[in-house]
């Protein structure tokens, strides 16, 4: 080595370089191989995989999985929007009881009863209508009796549950109030109470007075056969004074209150007011009315006020 | 009114039943008489006494049993409480057409100058006293008194 005049360290470097070159070659070779591998093997494989995956996804899409999934996501977001975490927590607490209920409902016995019931409903078109007597007769059947007992028990539970719910929602009250709330406004008690009508209703049994034929004409004013003014438009206050004299009545302010009311009421209802209507409308007692117009007050008032004879019994 | 007779017209009405439907004819007739300037008095006897008895006048019933005009079968009308129910229903219908109740009718009669009397014998039979009756009753009289008072009157029995 020395004779060649080369530095031995240089030789070392060369050797190492050679070794490195060899490694490089191998590396390159490997690289090539890898590239080839990728080219020859991986790419087609991955293409294959991708294609097949795509095809599968496509199939799933066709089957509607994704639409379903999208809807699920929508539902999820809707749930999140609608319910608070508190609600969800409560749901979690209730899960056991829900499951219990479901388990109880799916017991074979219960299911068979439900099946029976739906069977009955399916045959509903063949069942005969049942009247009151038929119902009473049906209660003699032992099964019907048991069924009724079960229904009663069911009703009781439902009622209890409803009551508890009402309490929970702060609508608690007396039994009566609860009932009233459930049934809606009750009809007023039938009976003796006679609510004072704020506004006078239409006359009790007054038929529209038939215009009696005018028979007598005095000073251009026509009167009917029973002594009433034929046309109430011909009435004047002066005429009232004259008419009252023929009835043996001297008009005072108290009389005028009554007469004015009678005129006003006639104008509104087109019927002569009877005594009851006058006492209610003019605020005069029956007793006072009889002392103001002692003889047949109803008719006398109508005569003086220039109105037809009052109809009706009161 | 035209003068039919010299003396004023007069009616004597005997009310012998205590049903709501049986009391009204007597009360209405008496009231109509007063409105037509006819003197009127009503004699309440037997069950009719209920109409002027303080505790009963507001609770007069209607007995539909045997009433051919009843809207319900007679069999049903015999059920307990039916006459009270019918009475209330009738009271309601009367209130609807603004017909005064029995007590108010008695007051109107009294104010219009009709006289109301109770039968002495019936009072003893039902063990009632004058203080048990409504204040509108003027007097407790006997059947003989009735005839004295009814002299010259038309008599109506209801």
Six-digit token string for A212: 């009696």
Q: What pLDDT does A191 receive?
A: 56
Contact B37 A296 (CB under 8 A): yes
Q: What domains are there in chain B, each with its CATH number? A: 12-157 (3.40.1260.10)
CB-CB: which of B1, B89, B111 is closest to A286? B111
Q: What pLDDT does A196 receive?
A: 61
More confident residue, B124 or A201: B124
Q: What is the 3-state secondary structure (H, E, C) of chain A?
A: CCCCCCCHHHHHHHHHHHHHHHHHHHHHHHHHHHHHHHHHHHHHHHHHHHHHHHHHHHHHHHHCHHHHHHHHHHHHHHHHHHCCHHHHHHHHHHHHHHHHHHHHHCCHHHHHHHHHHHHHHHCHHHCCCCCHHHHHHHCCCHHHHHHHHHHHHHHHHHHHHHHHHHHHCCCCCCHHHHHHHHHCCCCCCCCCCCCCCCCCCCCCCCCCCCCCCEEEEECCEEEECCCCECCHHHCCHHHHHHHHHHCCCCCCHHHHHHHHHHHHHHHHHCCCCCHHHHHHHHCCCHHHHHHHCCCCHHHHHHHHCCCCCCCCCC
pLDDT over 70, % of chain A = 82
Across chain B, which has 158 residues, the per-10-residue mean pLDDT values are 65 94 93 93 95 92 82 79 85 87 93 94 94 94 92 92
- The mean pLDDT value for A133-138 works out to 86
Computed over every residue of chain A, the mean pLDDT equals: 80
> Residue ranges per domain, chain A?
1-82, 89-122, 139-181, 214-304
- The mean pLDDT value for A216-224 works out to 81
Strands B154-157 and B10-15: parallel
Contact A314 B99 (CB under 8 A): yes
pTM above 0.80, yes or no: no
Would you say B118 and B137 are in contact if contact means Cβ atoms under 8 Å apart?
yes
pLDDT in tens, A234-291: 888 888 988 888 888 889 999 999 999 999 999 998 889 988 889 888 888 999 999 9
Q: What pLDDT does A184 receive?
A: 67
A9 and B CB contact within 8 Å: no
Contact A299 B36 (CB under 8 A): yes
Q: For residue B32, give how far its alpha carbon lies from the nearest alpha carbon of chain A (Å).
A: 6
Contact A190 B111 (CB under 8 A): no
Q: Which residues of B touch A205 (CB under 8 A)?
A: 97
Residue A2 banded pLDDT, cuts 50, 70, 90: very low
């Amino acid at each position: 080595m020395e004779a060649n005049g080369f530095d031995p360290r240089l030789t070392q470097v060369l050797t190492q370089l050679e070794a490195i070159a060899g490694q490089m070659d191998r590396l390159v070779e490997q690289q090539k191989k890898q590239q080839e591998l990728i080219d020859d093997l991986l790419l087609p494989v991955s293409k294959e995989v991708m294609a097949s995956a795509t095809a599968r996804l496509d199939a799933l899409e066709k089957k509607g999985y994704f639409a379903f999934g999208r809807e699920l996501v929508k539902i999820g977001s809707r749930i999140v929007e609608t319910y608070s975490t508190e609600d969800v927590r409560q749901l979690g607490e209730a899960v056991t009881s829900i499951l219990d209920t479901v388990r109880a409902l799916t017991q074979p016995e219960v299911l068979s009863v439900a099946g029976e019931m739906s069977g009955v409903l399916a045959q509903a078109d063949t069942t005969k209508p049942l009247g009151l007597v038929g119902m009473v007769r049906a209660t003699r059947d032992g099964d019907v009796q048991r069924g009724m007992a079960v229904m009663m028990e069911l009703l009781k539970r439902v009622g209890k549950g409803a009551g508890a719910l009402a309490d929970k929602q702060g609508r608690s009250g007396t039994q009566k109030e609860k009932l009233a709330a459930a049934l809606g406004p009750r009809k007023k008690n039938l009976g003796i109470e006679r609510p004072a009508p704020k506004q006078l209703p239409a006359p009790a049994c007054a038929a529209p007075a038939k215009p009696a034929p005018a028979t007598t004409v005095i000073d251009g004013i026509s009167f009917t056969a029973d002594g009433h003014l034929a046309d109430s438009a011909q009435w004047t206050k002066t005429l009232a004074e004259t008419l009252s004299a023929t009835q043996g009545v001297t008009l005072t302010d108290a009389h005028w209150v009554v007469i004015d009311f009678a005129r006003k009421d006639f104008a509104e209802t087109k019927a002569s007011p009877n005594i009851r209507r006058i006492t209610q409308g003019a605020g005069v007692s029956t007793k006072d009315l009889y002392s103001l117009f002692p003889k047949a007050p109803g008719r006398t008032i109508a005569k003086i006020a220039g109105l037809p004879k009052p109809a009706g019994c009161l | 009114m035209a003068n039919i007779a010299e003396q004023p017209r007069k009616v004597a009405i005997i009310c012998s039943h205590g049903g709501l439907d049986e009391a009204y004819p007597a009360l209405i007739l008496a009231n109509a008489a007063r409105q037509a300037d006819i003197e009127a008095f009503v004699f309440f006897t037997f069950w009719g006494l209920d109409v002027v008895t303080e505790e009963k006048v507001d609770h007069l019933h209607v007995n539909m049993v045997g009433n051919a005009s009843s809207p319900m079968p007679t069999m049903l009308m015999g059920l307990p409480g039916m006459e009270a129910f019918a009475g209330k229903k009738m009271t309601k219908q009367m209130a609807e057409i603004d017909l005064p109740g029995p007590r108010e009718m008695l007051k109107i009669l009294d104010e219009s100058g009709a006289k109301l009397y109770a039968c002495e014998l019936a009072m003893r039979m039902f063990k009632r006293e004058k203080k048990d009756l409504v204040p509108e009753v003027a007097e407790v009289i006997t059947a003989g008194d009735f005839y004295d008072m009814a002299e010259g009157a038309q008599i109506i029995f209801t």
